[in-house]
Homo-oligomer: A and B are copies of this chain.
Amino acid sequence: MPDSPLQIALVSSLDDHKQHQLRALDPRIDLHDYHEDRDSLITAGRSSRIVHGNVRPHELPHLPNLQWVHATWTGVENLLFPAIIQSDVILTNTRGQVGQPMAEHALAGLLYIARDFPTWTRASANSQWKADQNPTLLANSTVLILGTGAIAAHLVPLLAPFHVTLWGVNSDGRALPAYDRTFTLNSVRPHLGQVDFVVMLLPAGAHTRHAMDRPFMQSLKPGAAVVNLSRGSVIDNLALKDLIDAGHLRAAVLDVTDPEPPPTDYPLFAHPRILLTGHGSWAPPPTDSDLSFEIFTHNLRCFLNNRLADMRNVVNKQAGY
């Protein structure tokens, strides 16, 4: 590491206290805040070696010294454009920051469907006391989690007291201690007829686009339910709607759509068995800790000391997460 200044472009802002903490790490650190004047990153950011936040495709050619981009969130598919994948730029993200709210949101969605709240929200709205309800138990059901990463790690303990049969899908089907069985997206297909609830936590990407396609959903147990909190692209939402309308699937809670925002005439709006939650499952932001800043600070120390192998949350740019 030379003694020359280390320019860091702040595209995602940091408050004064955090900027002060960074400067205290090393006298070489030279922070430039582009948070309120993003366009000037192209003209003035040429010496940036680190970007805190995202980099857009048209900006990358103007950052010839860039070595590392830190994303303050989890899903980095918008950062994985070809030029950055092919480059040597290190990409780190902030997995786990939104684990607890998203895990609670997922369980809220599962129980909302299991206890047949879709029926009751309509009945209540229509001043109707009794309704043709069909509640079931989450207890002892089979739950399939697509994507066994950091958010799933927060959800698994919440499911434990329900004694569910817990199945997971990950990239290579590797076994994981908390799961009764694990599969790949392909190897799970013959077993879908046993699945009562699906929770989607997959990263977006070419490998996961429409991971839940029509045949996948047709193979689920009749009456199965879907909760998707990851990215709209991982599921064919129109096929999902068809299968709910046909009575094969029970209901869905979807935090994400494709595209986002959906068009005003989106067929999944105003549907009695589909709840959209407006990409809000990550909220509230953490108050008592800032995982992103912890990771960034740790990684910055590694960077300053040429210990790149010790950096945390380095994204596998080919895998996409």
Contact = CB atoms under 8 A, between A and B. Distances in A.
Interface of A: 100-101, 104-105, 107-108, 111-112, 114-117, 120-121, 123-131, 133, 135-139, 157-158, 160-162, 257, 260-262, 264-266, 269-271, 274-278, 280-281, 283-284
B137 A104 contact: yes
Contacts of A111: 104, 107-108, 111-112
A88 B111 CA distance: 44
Contacts of A270: 124-127
Contacts of A161: 157-158, 160-161
A278 B104 contact: no
A275 B120 contact: yes
B104 A276 contact: no
Instruction: State how many copies of this chain the complex holds.
Output: 2
B105 A284 contact: no
A196 to B, nearest CB: 13
Contacts of A116: 280
A321 to B, nearest CB: 24
A124 to B, nearest CB: 5
Nearest to A126: B270
A123 B270 CA distance: 8
B121 A121 contact: yes
Q: Which one of A105, A115, A162 has the highest number of Cβ atoms from chain B below 10 Å of its Cβ?
A: A115
Contact of A124 (B130, B157, B274): B274
Given A112-B117, A120-B277, A127-B266, 11 more contacts: A100-B137, A104-B162, A108-B115, A117-B117, A121-B275, A123-B276, A124-B271, A127-B270, A133-B283, A135-B281, A135-B284
Given A111-B107, A161-B160, A261 B117 contact: no
Top 6 closest pairs, chain A to chain B, by CB: A108-B111, A127-B269, A108-B115, A129-B261, A157-B161, A120-B277
A278 B130 CA distance: 5
A276 B120 contact: yes
A110 to B, nearest CB: 9
11 contacts: A100-B139, A101-B135, A107-B107, A107-B111, A108-B112, A111-B112, A116-B280, A117-B275, A123-B278, A126-B270, A157-B161
Contacts of A269: 124, 127-128
Nearest to A159: B161
A164 B108 CA distance: 16
